[in-house]
Amino acid sequence: MRSPSDYISRRSLGVDASGIRKVFDLAAKMKDPINLSIGLPDFDVPEPAKIAAIEAIRAGHNRYTQTQGIAPLRDRLRRDMSAEFGRDIGEVLITSGVTGGLMLAMLATIDPGDEAIFLDPYFVMYKHLLTLIGGKPIAVASYPDFRFRAERVEAAITPRTKLLILNSPSNPTGVVMSRQEVAAAVEVARKHDLLIISDEIYEPFLYGSERLASPAKAYDRTIVLRGFSKSHAMTGWRLGYAAGCESVIAAMTKLQQYTYICAPSPLQYAALAALDVSMADAVAAYGRKRDMVVQMLGGKFQIVKPDGAFYIFPQAPTGASASDFVTRAIENNVLIIPGNVFSERDTHFRISYATTDEKIARGCEILCSLA
């Protein structure tokens, strides 16, 4: 006879969520934590987008949309991205968050045993989604500076390698790939016939003067994934989009039909309004928070100055594992995430500075006193 746990598939058992769960368990015991662990902006959805969402609901946009998303939003995104990349970007599919785009891109391309390469530290989902669908996640170390090194990536390529997943600006490091690094990644992909999945969800959060260097500009075998969760603080609205290589987008669209069906209908109309809202002030404020964190932690911790997103990934003080350091931080009321949640190593920790200046200052002070 089966016990209830016997119903759980090997696929599900293959995914381990213990690292992050441990942090949340510890956090649940904290009274009023200085929370530097949150992966979403601390500003609210812009008012025009809220109004557009309410109006779309009132206007009756409450049914399924076409699987690929509403035409005005897809047209607008195709126009904007084509102008940005200097070529027609190809088909656009509106997804249920970038997570939906990642899931569909992997389902559309990965056969059991196929390999996908990404840099370590990595956004946790890459590893687990790949495992879930029977692919093989290959994490290539980018320590100590979190830069793309073609020779390390090439050394990890096998005849089963199909995807190169890039994430710039990066979660958890905040590092932004330079033009040269992107060119090197494209060269590797071209040489080895790899499809690039470029997760650009943090694209609006750039603190230098240049726009994001995207592989989509030079390499048409790229799927760009972007979304509204971070740019407009709409993590709960579940809106993202995928664009690029037409045969892959067509396969993703087919799969969306049998999984998510479509992205939330009224919110697709609201996204159209959101695209006309300037987020420049919010980004500038995050740039100042980045400077503050770098300035406060730089003297006590080994850091790589981030140029984007809202994370920094300092090295834990020597002599302790990062997990031990994080436990001490949590005992002192500062919630941060141990690096081994994002990495095969347990040497660093992630701070999110998407919070108030006051919390950043208090949190950094405590972390420095523990270092």
Q: Which residues bind ligand PLP (CB under 6 A)?
A: 39, 97-99, 123, 167, 171, 199, 201, 227, 229, 235, 240
Q: Which residues contact 48 (CB under 8 A, 6 or more apart)?
A: 273, 274, 276, 277
Question: What residue number has its CB nearest to ligand PLP?
Answer: 97
Would you call 223 helix, strand, or coil by DSSP? strand
Identity of the residue, 113 or 235, whose beta carbon is nearer to ligand PLP in the bound complex: 235
Min. distance of Cβ 95 from ligand PLP in angstroms?
8
Neighbours of 32 (CB within 10 A): 6
Min. distance of Cβ 1 from ligand PLP in angstroms?
39
- Are 96 and 238 in contact by the 8 Å Cβ rule? The answer is yes
Min. distance of Cβ 99 from ligand PLP in angstroms?
3
Min. distance of Cβ 94 from ligand PLP in angstroms?
12
| DSSP summary character for residue 316 | P
CA distance 141 to 268: 37
> Please, how many CA atoms are within 13 Å of residue 282, restricted to the half-sphere of its CB?
20
Identity of the residue, 43 or 187, whose beta carbon is nearer to ligand PLP in the bound complex: 43
Min. distance of Cβ 227 from ligand PLP in angstroms?
4
| DSSP summary character for residue 87 | S
Identity of the residue, 86 or 236, whose beta carbon is nearer to ligand PLP in the bound complex: 236
Identity of the residue, 123 or 260, whose beta carbon is nearer to ligand PLP in the bound complex: 123
> Residue 113: is it exposed, middle or buried by C-beta count within 10 angstroms (0-12/13-18/19+)?
exposed
CA distance 196 to 212: 16
Identity of the residue, 241 or 301, whose beta carbon is nearer to ligand PLP in the bound complex: 241
Tell which residue, 274, 271, 286, has the closest CA to residue 206. Answer: 286
Pair type for strands 349-352 and 311-312 = antiparallel
Q: Which residues contact 348 (CB under 8 A, 6 or more apart)?
A: 121, 313, 314, 315, 316, 322, 339
Min. distance of Cβ 172 from ligand PLP in angstroms?
8
Q: Please identify which residue in the block is written with the tokens 């994430």.
A: 167
Identity of the residue, 219 or 228, whose beta carbon is nearer to ligand PLP in the bound complex: 228
Min. distance of Cβ 4 from ligand PLP in angstroms?
30
Min. distance of Cβ 272 from ligand PLP in angstroms?
17
Identity of the residue, 99 or 340, whose beta carbon is nearer to ligand PLP in the bound complex: 99
Identity of the residue, 111 or 344, whose beta carbon is nearer to ligand PLP in the bound complex: 344
Separation of CA 367 from chain center: 25
